[in-house]
Copies of this chain bind each other. A is one copy, B any other.
Amino acid sequence: MTERIGLVGLGIMGKPMGKNVLKAGFPLTVWNRTISRAEELKALGARVASSPKEVAEHSDIIITMVSDSPDVQQVVLGDDGVIHGARAGSVLVDMSTISPQVTREIANALQEKQVAMLDAPVSGGEKGAVEGTLSIMVGGDAAVLERVRPVFEALGKRIVHVGVNGMGQVCKLANQIAVVLNNLSMSEALVFAAKSGADVSKVLEAIQAGAAGSWALNNYAPKILRRDFSPGFLVSLQQKDLRLVMEASREMNLALPGTALTYELQKSLQAHGLEREGNFALIKVLEQMTGVEVKG
């Protein structure tokens, strides 16, 4: 039996993911707050529902892909939420990046209605969503993951079962910690070289293959040398994810001095209206502090 898929949230990520679900042959019902975002998927064969509840009524597996914890709470537990339309035995798959704690609360609420949940945030960005090459970090029951796996395989390449509900989100936030601190690492190395008068492209050539190496140094440093700050991953979303890290760390009394520092530094990007640039625009904060520009 082919599972009927629901999709709530047709933003930069959700819309291309919906296309890949249709391409893989699944029946799809969609909803988005701004309903015009659904037109392209409708033309490709998707049913357009008038609420998340109605999506759930037509679906066996309901994917949510929205911005933040309150958005997931609203579309799942709110007045017209998924929980009011979902049958016992259906599955909610939240692929948004939200709080691990809120994730556990939603999973508990759904369990009372015999609706299973997976938290399954992704990395790989818009490019990964379009190409169906996302990395998917899954928290929840292993048997439920096996049931959903054919859908995940339409969306991504690397599917890792991390643990119980919430652990997918924990994994995603750990990922984001490493991403922003790798950006800080690259940024400080490059501004040091530039301020010292070095040919930064030569420095990059010398260091990127060794112990200084990172995905950031390989992928973002060449863009910085061209002064191309197009995203990639938006500063605004990076800051939202770091806020989730800071909230979770506060609850655990966990000190993350480097992450906290980077969160504060990136507020300067927000202050200067650079929220729509790529997250590696972090280097601009350091450049501005000393008056140096990294070029290559």
User: A interface vs B, CB < 8 Å?
Assistant: 100, 123-124, 135, 137, 158, 160-163, 166-167, 170-171, 173-179, 181-182, 184-186, 188-193, 195-199, 202-203, 205-207, 209-217, 219, 233, 245, 248-249, 252-259, 261-262, 265, 286, 289-290, 292
Contacts and interface: CB of A to CB of B under 8 A. Distances in A.
Contact of A162 (B176, B198, B210, B292): B198
12 contacts: A123-B210, A135-B209, A137-B207, A162-B202, A174-B189, A175-B206, A181-B185, A182-B182, A192-B256, A252-B290, A258-B258, A258-B261
Copy total for this chain:
2
B195 A252 contact: yes
Nearest to A291: B253
Contact of A170 (B175, B188, B193): B193
A290 B188 contact: no
B160 A206 contact: yes
Contacts of A190: 174
Nearest to A292: B254
A286 B171 contact: no
A215 B215 contact: no
A160 B202 contact: yes
Contacts of A256: 188, 191-192, 286
A181 B262 CA distance: 12
Given A182-B185, A254-B191, A255-B290, A211 B215 contact: yes
Nearest to A161: B202
A179 B211 contact: yes
Contact of A258 (B161, B163, B184): B184
Contacts of A249: 192
A202 B171 contact: yes
A151 to B, nearest CB: 18
A289 B182 contact: no
B198 A289 contact: no
Given A171-B207, A178-B214, A185 B185 contact: yes
B163 A198 contact: yes
A212 B215 contact: yes
Given A211-B216, A214-B216, 17 more contacts: A123-B210, A167-B197, A170-B196, A171-B206, A173-B192, A174-B189, A174-B192, A174-B193, A174-B196, A174-B207, A175-B211, A178-B214, A181-B189, A181-B258, A192-B256, A253-B290, A257-B261
